[in-house]
């Protein structure tokens, strides 16, 4: 089995708690978890199921750009 790497974005849900996850290279995947660990595990499962569907349909597996990094930066906004 070949391993694929994907960037996932973890979004904190401040209102309901937990985290929701998106995968930029695989639009349409949306999952969640009560903890970071659960959200990451659920993302792995969602990606795996999505890739199985792509393979079953005979489509090529989309990749993620290698050497891509996601970071959070702070930016000062002008006063309104």
What averages of pLDDT result for each successive group of 10 residues across the chain (80 residues)? 87 95 93 96 96 94 73 83
C-alpha dihedral (56, 22, 3, 57), degrees to nearest 10: 10
Q: Which of 15, 5, 49 is nearest to 31 (CA)?
A: 49
Residue owning tokens 């050497």: 67
Parent domain of 32: 1-80
Number of domains, the chain: 1
C-alpha span between 57 and 42 (Å, rounded): 23
Could you tell me the pTM of the whole model?
0.79
**The CATH number of the domain where 71 resides is what?**
3.30.160.250
């Amino acid at each position: 089995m070949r391993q694929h790497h994907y960037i996932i974005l973890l979004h904190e849900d401040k209102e309901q708690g937990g985290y929701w996850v998106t995968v930029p290279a695989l639009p349409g995947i949306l999952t969640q978890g009560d903890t970071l660990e659960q959200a990451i595990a659920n993302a792995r499962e969602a990606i795996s199921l999505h890739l199985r569907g792509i393979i079953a349909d005979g489509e090529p597996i989309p990749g993620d750009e290698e050497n891509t990094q996601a970071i959070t930066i702070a930016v000062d906004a002008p006063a309104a």
